[in-house]
Each structure stands twice: as structure tokens, then as C-alpha cells.
Structure 1
């Protein structure tokens, strides 16, 4: 083959590769000029649109039917305050003191409230433990306690060491009530030992019961080492003693005994109360104490008429060293109680329907939550009252008046519980919020 013929053959091969079947090109077109694959593409588009529509319907259904988040109750304040104040009371400039209104709360304190010897105020706990294990009904005398020769020996020792005593004789019989009167009114140290042995079998066992009772009452800074208070290791704070005084005066037998100015006993005869302020200035108890280490001490109950009802002001004064020390403690207590009296009144702390918080939702709805009843308390200007809130589980929507929780108002050792409700209906979420909340 010549060079020219070879070149022509290669040119023809290139042409064939560029257009292998020119005579059959028309087979790739439909009769009306459209590509043969167009119908398949349109079918695929319809499937895609159907899938999208179904997915949208499913999404709307799921979002519309899924549970909505619950509402939330937000409590406003944890401290309520009575308008006015502060009080200006004649707190003692030595020792320590505290005063509270029974059922309403603490008025105030003086001093660092560190544990101090409490002398014969110890006998308040001695009497409470005896009455706890050997309760008396009002007016009952209780079991008989027979004085032993050992009890007489204790009495003679206490006389020799110039302690506060009640005369006894071997074979003398005292009822439980008489023994408690001998303990609390003339403040017989020897009678504290008699009662401890009788009630618990031994003085150490009885002291253990005293400390257990102190722990049960929440007297965290109080410790007893004996039943009489002679040992200065028996210590407390005025704050603890105020709580002890409230518990003691709640026992009608105890309260009736400490309210007596005198009592007559079989051997000792007529004995008198060291609380010289008893039945003066409203003082109805509770217990004095004094010695060289403790100074003058007084746990007192001042009864005040507020709105025609008796109100008890419980206070404690410890560590008064100005002679005569017992009179110093009594005068400090009376001055405090008298200064507080004009400021005590029944005041409205919460009104019925008063808002105490807000119920809110993630979608922006909110309604006030209110107390269903008001609360009036005996109070003084500037008093602060702690409160708290216990919510219930809420739904996403609420009708008007639905219970949303309980407000706890803490007044001293007492807690008052007030129902809290929605002030008006709380709507649930709209469809628009549900569709956009992911």
C-alpha cells in the first residue's frame, strides 16, 4: 500500500469512530420530538413529591400530638417582713439574752449565744424528763416516792455546802407532783437527785435521758452533767432555753407548778418560789437560777393580752453579774418584756388572694399564683418570717383555681401551710409553637 493509500485508510477509520451509526440517530427521539426518558423522570418527581407530603403530614401529626412541656411555678419570696421597726429594746449589757413570742418567732438576742452555765434552770429539763416518763394528768398526784436514809444524807451534805435544799426525813412520802413542786418552786438540789434516782434508777442514767431529750428538742448547744445545775458543766444558750421554755410551758402540769408562789410539803412545810416577779408585770414563770459561776439567770414567761387573747413571750437571761445577781436577772427580763408589750399586735401577714409567685410556660404564657386564705399573726414591727414553697407536678395547661402547691410559713417552731392555686386559667401551647419547637 502506498503512503497515500495508507493515509486515506486512517482518515476513514477516524470518521467511522466519530459517527459510528449516523443512519440510526432518529431512534433516540420520541415521535413528538421529546426524549424517550422524559416520562420516567416525571414519575420520579411525583414519587418525591408524595414522599415529601407524607413526611410533612407525619411531622405535623407528631408535633401536634406529642406531649407539651409542663408549666413551672416560680415562688416570689422566702422572707416576709412586717412593716416598721427596727425595735429598740433594753437588752442587758452583760451576759446573754434572747426573747421570742410563742407561736410567732424570735424577737431578738443579745450576746454571742455561746453556751454558758445555767444553774438551776437545769431543773426545767429534769422536770420535763420525769413528766415524759411518768406523765401526770391535770390535778393528779402520781406515784408515791419514799425518802430513804441516803436521800437524807444527800440533804445534809447539801445543807453543809450551802446549796438550795428542801428539808426531808427518812420515811417521808411525797407524791410525784409534790416532788416536782419541791424541785421547781424552792429549787431543791437534793430533790433533783431524789427524782433522778426514782425515775431512772441512777443519776448517770437520768442525765443521759436529759441529753437525749435536749437533742430531740433541737437544743444543739445544751449539755447536762447533772440534774440540779450545781455543776457548771451544765450549759446552754438563751436561744436554746427559749425553745426549752416553750416546750415546758406547753405541759399543763409543769405550767401549773411553776405558776405557784408557794407550796406546802409534808416535812419542809411552806416553801416559796425564788421567782419574785411571779404574778407581777404579767410574769407567770418559769425558773430562776444563780450561783457564783453562772451569775443570775432567769427563764421567763410573760403573758400578754393581744386582741383579747393571751400571748406568751418566752425569754432567757444568763450571766448577770451585778449584785444581787438574781435580782439583776429578774429586772433585765422584766425590762425586756415590758418594752416589747406596746409593739405586739395582730397583723395581717398575707391577704386572701395575694400573689406569691408566677406560673410560666416555655411558650410565653404566665398567670399569677395566689394563696387561698389569708394569715394574721401576733407580730411586731420589723419582724421577718421565713417561708417556703412545696410545688405539685403541673400540666401544660391549668384551669383557674388549680392547685399548684403549698406555701409553708414558719413562725417560731410552728409551720402554717397555705394552699396556693392558679389565679386564672393557663392556656396550653398553640399549633404554631408546637410546629416550631424542636
Structure 2
């Protein structure tokens, strides 16, 4: 008959514990995952150049937007930045700066730029060609007579004569011809009313939701837009190959050697390329343009809109002040400097390191305002070698998003079996979390 032996029981219990310790605790600590490092995000000081705001007009409304920046180097010319919206109706990016009212104001002949772009969207012209020939009608001749009698800008036409689409657009944009605005709208869409429907749909598709037209000429006060929208409209016009070529080489004679005065040019000596310049009693002086600042190796181009200027003298003074502020504010910006730390890491066993910018990102741009805080995304890790990619930093500068990879400044290595065995709670917690 057997009897209970306490010593034997204790021995079995101790043996079981030892077996479990060797079979479970050992592998859990020696082979299990290490706890992830603790990350603390930080913002390096003096990483962004102090802003130099543009000098905009105190009259009406004005805005400027990034168009492009180019930098020449040994490897060639690089360009960054653009304006406008994509075909899905994405909202336009924020402007560099805005002044005056944010309400839509009458835009005078800037509406003709909308007309040109909408017609080109519906009836595209192959680069280097003139497009189809259009036979003008009695209605086109009557439009010319009506506008000429009213003292509105017009370019002479006659019934049954032929103009190419390009010549119609040149008269429209360069000559600011009101009768050509109506003629090209009727030709492309069947009627001015049908054009208006198409134009407002085009504006919405391009993110210009604060702008609307009720005619093709802009003579109607209800054809109005916000300065922000119109600055981006200038960018859309300047990057259209047909319009940009037209502005770069303005025609002096059109169909049948018809003379045309270029109304767009204004202050070219300041680096300004005019796209539309006009005046009505309701709108005041309105000007759509692009401008460029260059240091010889790099250049920065922006688009702009001034609406509601009281006089041409006021426009001249305001544009001169703007370009002076541009020459002072545009330059190379150390946006993301190599070595700048955007996070620090500490491991449970005491190793420390930083997430630093690996390669500098600079931009030739206009830092018009203090940028929003950088967005930092970090990877989860327990160990990594020096220089490992541990995240990314993004920053919006002058309307452009710039990013750089973050690298580990010092390696964080495995602490070894001794530390693992002496920290069972930390190791088992890491195992359970996985």
C-alpha cells in the first residue's frame, strides 16, 4: 500500500517548474521579439527661412499663385510646381498670397480668357497648326457693328470671310475683341447661351468654384470671379500650349491682313507677361498675368490677378511694388536640411538615436508665409542599423509639398541574451503584443 510522500511531491513540482522554465521562459526571452523603441517627434529649430510676404494691392482684390520653378544644374534643368486642377475637379492648391475682398468681383475681359480656354477644350488645335477655317456669318458682322457703335473693343469682320480658329482666338485675346468672343462661342457651341452652360461646367471641373460667367465677353457685371480663382486661371492660360505661344509671339495681322493691337502687354521690363488687361465701369482695371524672378541659374514664375484697380496708374504702382517684393522674397530655401532631426528613439535597454533627414531638399521659391508644421510618419521597429530608413517628413513650402526620407542616426542593436533573461516581463509583453 503506497503512502503520500511530501518530499517526492515537492521534487516533482520543482522539476515541472524547471522544465517549464527551460521550455517556455527560455525561448520566450531568448528567441522572442524585442519591444519596439519609444519614439518622440520633434521639430528642428531654424529649419525654414523666415517668410517675406508679397506686397499686394490694397484695391479691389488680388492674388498670386505658384506657376513653376526651374533650377539649372550640371545634370540639367529641373522644374517644380504647377497651378490649376486636374480633370476630376480637384480643388486648386492654395495661393501664395491674397489681398482685398474674397468675394467675386466683375472681371471685365478676363472672361475672354475663359472663353478661349473653353473653346480650346472643345475644339483643340494641334500644336503648330491654325485649326479649322471658320466662315463668318451675317450675325458675326452685325456683332462687329454693334460693338463698334457702342465704343467697345472690336476687330473688323465681314460676312462670308474665313478666319482660322487660331486667328479668331488671337483677335479675342490679343485684341480683346468683343465681337470675336461672341463669334467663336457661337461657332464652337452653337449659341452664346450654350457656351455659357459649357463654360460654367468647365470652371467647376477645374476647381474655380468662385467664378461664373453669363457672357463670352465679360461686359456683363455678373461675369465675376475671385482673385484666387483668377490667379489660377492665369496659370491655366499660361500653361496652355496654344495660348502661351500666342502670348510669346503676338500676331500683328490676322485674316486678310487685318491689323490687331496687342492689349495684353504691360510692364514687360518688370518681368511681367500680360494675359488680359481691360477696364469697365463696374470692374475697374483688371489684369491677368504671369511674372518671373531669376538669379541667372534658377527662376521662379508665378501667376496673378488684380481686379478692381481704380486706375492704370494705381495698377502700375501696385505691380511695381509686387515685383520689388518678389525680388526680395524669392530665392533658394533650405526646406529640409540634411542632419535635421524630426524624432528621437529610445530602446527599453537604453540605446538612443534620432530620425534625421538623409538628403537635403532645397527649393527656389517664395516663402511668403510660415509653413504649417511638418508631417512626420515613423516606422515601428526594435532594432535597425545606422542609416536605416525609419520614416518620412513632409512639408508644404510655397504651395509645393516637399518630402524626404528619415534615416537612423545611430544603430539600435539587440541587447543580448543576458538582458533578455533578466527582463522577462518586458519580453513576454512584447511576445503577447505580437
**TM class, shorter-length:** 0.7 to 0.9
Q: 1:55 to 1:209 in 2, by over 3 A?
A: farther
What SS does structure 2 have at the residue aligned with 1:102?
strand
Q: Tell me whether 309-318 or 206-215 shows the greater mean CA deviation.
A: 206-215
Query: Per-residue CA shift, 1:186-211, capped at 9, x if unaligned?
Result: 11122222222333344344334333
Residue 237 (structure 2) pairs with residue 248 (structure 1): yes
Distance 1:295 1:377, change over 3 A: same
Cα distance change on mapping 1:273 and 1:175 into 2, 3 Å: same
Which residue is equivalent to 1:398? Answer: 384
SS at match of 1:270: coil
| Conserved 8 A contact 1:182-1:188 | yes
2:229 paired with 1:263: no
Query: Helix, strand or coil: the match of 2:286?
Result: strand
- Find the aligned partners of 2:117 and 2:210 in 1 and give their Cα distance: 18
CA contact (8 A) 1:207 1:227 kept: yes
Task: Give the match for residue 23 of structure 1.
Answer: none
Query: In the alignment, does 2:37 pair up with 1:51?
Result: no
Q: How far did residue 143 of structure 1 move?
A: 1.7
Compute the displacement of 1:71 (Å): 5.0
Secondary structure at the aligned position of 2:155 is classed as: coil
Report if the CA contact (8 A) 2:43-2:341 is conserved.
no
Aligned with 1:318 (options 307, 321, 324): 307
How far apart are 1:428 and its partner, in Å? 5.0
Structure of higher RCO (CA pairs closer than 8 Å, 6+ residues apart): 2
Aligned counterparts of 1:72 and 1:62: Cα–Cα separation in 2: 21
Residue 83 of structure 2 is aligned to residue 94 of structure 1: no
Q: Residues 13-57 of structure 1: CA distance to partner in whole angstroms, max 9, x if unpaired?
A: xxxxxxxxxxxxxxxxxxxxxxx96x6111111122223223333
After superposition, give the CA deviation of every residue in 1:71-119 in whole Å (9 maximum; x if it has no partner).
5766545998743455473x33321112345347854322132221211
- What CA distance in whole angstroms lies between the structure 1 residues aligned with 2:43 and 2:124? 43
Match for residue 422 of structure 1? 408
In the alignment, what sits opposite 1:17? Answer: none
Question: Deviation of residue 133 (structure 1)?
Answer: 3.5
- Counterpart contact for 1:80–1:385, Cα < 8 Å: no
| Contact map agreement 1:263 1:272 (CA 8 A) in 2 | yes
The alpha carbon displacement at 1:398 in A equals 2.0
- Aligned residue for 2:49? 83
Partner secondary structure for residue 59 of structure 1: helix
Bigger CA radius of gyration: 1
How far apart, in 2, do the equivalents of 1:282 and 1:250 lie? 17
Partner of 1:151: 140
Aligned to 1:371: 357
Q: Secondary structure at the match of 1:304?
A: strand
- Asked if the contact 1:81/1:385 (under 8 Å) is kept, the reply is no
> 2:342–2:356: 8 Å Cα contact kept in structure 1?
yes
Aligned-pair distance for 1:387? 6.7
Query: Aligned ranges for residues 22-171 of structure 1 at < 5 Å?
Result: 40-57=5-22, 58-71=24-37, 76-77=42-43, 82-87=48-53, 89=55, 91-103=56-68, 106-171=95-160
- Aligned partner of 2:298 in structure 1 is 309
Q: Which moved more, 1:299-308 or 1:164-173?
A: 299-308
Change (3 A) 1:67 1:93: same
Q: Is 1:410 matched with 2:396?
A: yes
Structure 1 residues 215-224 or 411-420, which shifts more? 411-420
**1:226 alignment partner in structure 2:** 215
CA distance 1:80–1:99, shift in 2 (3 Å): farther
State how far apart, in whole Å, the 1-side matches of 2:136 and 2:158 are: 7
TM-score by length of 1: 0.78
- The alignment status of 1:175 with 2:164, answered yes or no, reads yes
User: Counterpart in 2 of 1:277?
Assistant: 266
Aligned length: 398
RMSD (CA atoms): 3.3
TM-score computed with the length of structure 2 as normaliser: 0.79
Structure 2: how far apart are the matches of 1:225 and 1:359? 60
Q: Which runs of 5+ in 1 are unaligned?
A: 1-35
* Maintained 8 Å contact 2:95/2:399: no
Matched with 1:25 is none
1:186 aligns with 2:178: no
After superposition, the Cα gap between the structure-2 partners of 1:355 and 1:157, relative to the gap in structure 1 and judged at 3 Å, is same
